[in-house]
Amino acid sequence: MADCFVANVRLDDGFAGGFLIDKGRIAALVTAGAPAPHAKQTIDGHGLLAIPALVDGHMHLDKTLAGGPWLAHQAEPQRMSRIETDKKIWPMLNRSVEQRATALLDWCIGHGTAHVRTHVDVDLEGGLSKLEGVLAAKASRAGEVTVEIVAFPQSGIMRCPGVADLLDRAVQSGADLVGGLDPLEIDRDVKGHLDTVFEIADHRAKGVDIHLHEPGEMGLHSLDQICERTTALGLGGKVTVSHGFCLGSAPPDKQKAMADRMAKAGVGLVTHGGAVWAVPPLELLHEHGVLVFAGNDDVRDTWNPIGNADMLERATMICWRADYRRDTQLRFAFELCSGHGARALGQPVPAIAVGADASFALVEAEHIPAAVAGHPRRELVLHRGRVVGRDGKRVPAAA
Ligand SMILES: [Zn+2]
């Protein structure tokens, strides 16, 4: 007998009926009116829309203040002020990295996110302590959400001798990718910074994810150098640029040329929608073959107090920022937060189909575009066949 039957649900394509779930996967789609199959448990979906699991391609689990008291934002607008402010605030927090990261993961789970890529600060002050905390949080939520970790040199590499060795140790201690950050703006050494990052990735057979806020020609040059190293080392498909704001303000001919260069090299791009900077040309990049996807970035932390870790709300925000209005564009925004993210990160592509992981959420919406427009609460969340969220909140395993 199958494990579970989720009855009375709808799909974006007009299907109405139920999903038979066994061993964490969807075993059958049963059309409304057909005899209900036998299962150990039946869940009434109340006619809600089932949406595929969400993927958050860019978080900072170690920085969050989730689950604790509100802390008024203190840093100045400059990136370096935020970096330095972090170092003053964190020693005064009375909750550990593991506690805070776990609280934010719970927000992700409650919103139907099945997979998270998080950056974790690796610096001279903290060493690998934040990595250890996030690894503990990841382990405590195994079976409810999967997590991959980027060892992130938030304070720079070349300007902080010793960080390169820490990055190398981080990827031998549980980090999955090597991170980087604005090679010229932070480190004033594009070659040194990128050579270090790519050398570790190549030596340890890891991927790369580089925060690139640099504007204009400075950012385009760094992006070009990232593509060059990706091609030279055969790392295509394993390299991501986070943000890539320089692409948003570039003229159309340069946008197209760089899109082709990134697609050919196998360099993807993750966006949170662009903040005050121009949004990268997401549709153009996708049409040129670049793996484009989305993430929440900072959520309730010392860099940004805004956010709740909801990737469906992130899709709404991307539509606002990119001026998406057509159904095709709203669907594209959803894919940035689900299927495209999974493809870029090498994860199973979320789908509600026979054989796929039974990972989905139920929402009150007519179809996917309406769900993106209003980002309704997740009434129920299943992860690999198990109920992990209800009414927008994580359901503890014992409940
Ligand atoms: Zn970030």
pLDDT tens, residue by residue, 202-250: 999 999 999 999 999 999 999 999 999 999 999 999 999 999 999 999 9
Q: Domain with 190 in it: what CATH number?
A: 3.20.20.140
Q: How confident is the model at residue 92 (pLDDT cuts 50, 70, 90)?
A: confident
- Whether the CB-CB separation of 71 and 65 falls below 8 Å is answered with yes
Q: What integer pLDDT is reported at residue 205 of this predicted model?
A: 98
The whole domain housing 362 covers 4-52+351-394
Task: Classify residue 285: in a domain, yes or no.
Answer: yes
Q: Helix, strand or coil for residue 361?
A: strand
Whole-number Å distance, alpha carbon 276 to ligand 1 midpoint, is 15
Whole-number Å distance, alpha carbon 346 to ligand 1 midpoint, is 20
212 has which bridge partners? 243
Query: Is 256 a residue whose pLDDT tops 70?
Result: yes
Whole-number Å distance, alpha carbon 328 to ligand 1 midpoint, is 28
- Whether the CB-CB separation of 102 and 141 falls below 8 Å is answered with yes
Task: Classify residue 246: in a domain, yes or no.
Answer: yes
Query: Is 109 a residue whose pLDDT tops 70?
Result: yes
Q: Tally Cβ neighbours within 10 Å of residue 99.
A: 17
Whole-number Å distance, alpha carbon 26 to ligand 1 midpoint, is 34
Whole-number Å distance, alpha carbon 119 to ligand 1 midpoint, is 7
Instruction: Find all residues with CB under 8 Å of 335, minimum gap 6, and list them.
Output: none
Q: What integer pLDDT is reported at residue 277 of this predicted model?
A: 75
Q: Helix, strand or coil for residue 65?
A: coil
Query: Is 276 a residue whose pLDDT tops 80?
Result: no
Whole-number Å distance, alpha carbon 254 to ligand 1 midpoint, is 25
Whole-number Å distance, alpha carbon 177 to ligand 1 midpoint, is 14
Q: How confident is the model at residue 86 (pLDDT cuts 50, 70, 90)?
A: confident
Q: How confident is the model at residue 398 (pLDDT cuts 50, 70, 90)?
A: low
Whole-number Å distance, alpha carbon 298 to ligand 1 midpoint, is 6
Whole-number Å distance, alpha carbon 301 to ligand 1 midpoint, is 11
Q: What integer pLDDT is reported at residue 96 of this predicted model?
A: 96
Whole-number Å distance, alpha carbon 260 to ligand 1 midpoint, is 25
Tokens of 272: 């949170």
Query: Are 221 and 203 in a shared domain?
Result: yes
Residue 174: alpha-carbon gap to chain centroid: 18
Q: Helix, strand or coil for residue 239?
A: strand
The average pLDDT across 355-376 equals: 98
The average pLDDT across 91-95 equals: 89
How many Å apart are CA 110 and CA 57, to the nearest integer? 17
The average pLDDT across 64-74 equals: 93
Residues in the chain: 399
Query: Are 128 and 45 in a shared domain?
Result: no
Query: Are 128 and 157 in a shared domain?
Result: yes
Query: Are 322 and 374 in a shared domain?
Result: no
Query: Are 9 and 126 in a shared domain?
Result: no
Task: Classify residue 399: in a domain, yes or no.
Answer: no
- Whether the CB-CB separation of 107 and 309 falls below 8 Å is answered with yes
Whole-number Å distance, alpha carbon 16 to ligand 1 midpoint, is 39
Look at 70-79, 239-248, 344-353 and tell me which has the smallest mean pLDDT: 70-79
Whole-number Å distance, alpha carbon 269 to ligand 1 midpoint, is 12
Query: Are 88 and 197 in a shared domain?
Result: yes
Query: Are 18 and 140 in a shared domain?
Result: no
Q: What integer pLDDT is reported at residue 378 of this predicted model?
A: 98
Query: Are 88 and 169 in a shared domain?
Result: yes
Q: What is the pLDDT of residues 156-189, one digit of tens each?
A: 999 999 999 999 999 999 999 999 999 999 999 9
Residue 256: alpha-carbon gap to chain centroid: 25
How many Å apart are CA 258 and CA 313, to the nearest integer? 29
Task: Classify residue 73: in a domain, yes or no.
Answer: yes
The average pLDDT across 351-372 equals: 98
Query: Is 399 a residue whose pLDDT tops 60?
Result: no
Q: How confident is the model at residue 397 (pLDDT cuts 50, 70, 90)?
A: confident
Whole-number Å distance, alpha carbon 114 to ligand 1 midpoint, is 19
Whole-number Å distance, alpha carbon 157 to ligand 1 midpoint, is 16
Query: Is 59 a residue whose pLDDT tops 80?
Result: yes
Q: What is the pLDDT of residues 2-18, one digit of tens each?
A: 999 999 999 999 999 99
Whole-number Å distance, alpha carbon 272 to ligand 1 midpoint, is 9
Whole-number Å distance, alpha carbon 60 to ligand 1 midpoint, is 6
Whole-number Å distance, alpha carbon 390 to ligand 1 midpoint, is 28
Looking at every residue in the chain, the average pLDDT score rounds to 96
Please state the pTM of the whole predicted model: 0.97
Query: Are 165 and 107 in a shared domain?
Result: yes
Whole-number Å distance, alpha carbon 1 to ligand 1 midpoint, is 45
The dihedral sign for the CA sequence 20, 26, 28, 31:
positive
Whole-number Å distance, alpha carbon 297 to ligand 1 midpoint, is 5
Q: How confident is the model at residue 77 (pLDDT cuts 50, 70, 90)?
A: confident
Query: Are 290 and 370 in a shared domain?
Result: no
Q: Domain with 39 in it: what CATH number?
A: 2.30.40.10
Query: Are 206 and 284 in a shared domain?
Result: yes
Q: How confident is the model at residue 80 (pLDDT cuts 50, 70, 90)?
A: confident
- Whether the CB-CB separation of 21 and 358 falls below 8 Å is answered with yes
Q: State the total domains in the chain.
A: 2
Tokens of 87: 């170092």
Whole-number Å distance, alpha carbon 216 to ligand 1 midpoint, is 19
